[in-house]
Amino acid sequence: MEVSSFGTLSLLFKYLNGGKTKRNIAKYYGVADTVLESWIHSFVYVRNICAHHSRLWNKTLRVTGGIPKRTAYSFINTKMQNDRVYYVLCMIRYMLQVINPNSSFTTRLKQLLKDCPSVDTKAMGFPSNWETEPLWRTAI
């Protein structure tokens, strides 16, 4: 069985000895170490869904990313379920603020949704006012 490099990253982070190293890595991303660990695990889960050509757009996710109490960068204000695709997109967008501030992810996502008006964003967990959230308003 082949393990993706993302899956390996998830396991490496999960099994890091000592809380200080985990906390320092998570601090770089502006979230708690438990939140970062859950996000990485969620990314691996969603990656596997996509890699195996499974349905994702309206799926209720079994592996979910934690909801942070505090973040160092813009995140969503709306209280929502974290078991939908929208929340994973929010996690990705949040991480990109740190990893690649010049990413075109937000622009491309908005264009994709505009190009595909028949897509039911509500089924993916998008709130009606998602574009007004600070996370999606900042320039990326």
pLDDT on residue 1: 40
Under a CB-based contact definition with an 8 Å cutoff, are residues 63 and 10 in contact? no
Name the one residue in this structure whose structure tokens are 């929340």.
87
CA dist list (Å): 16 to 26, 34, 50: 12, 12, 27
pLDDT on residue 140: 45
CB neighbours of residue 97 within 10 Å: 20
Q: What is the mean pLDDT of each run of 10 residues along the chain (140 residues)?
A: 60 75 92 94 92 89 94 87 94 95 94 94 93 79
The domain locations on the chain are 5-137
Terminal CA-CA length for the chain: 37
| pTM for the predicted model, two decimal places | 0.87
Span 25-39, pLDDT tens digits = 999 999 999 999 999
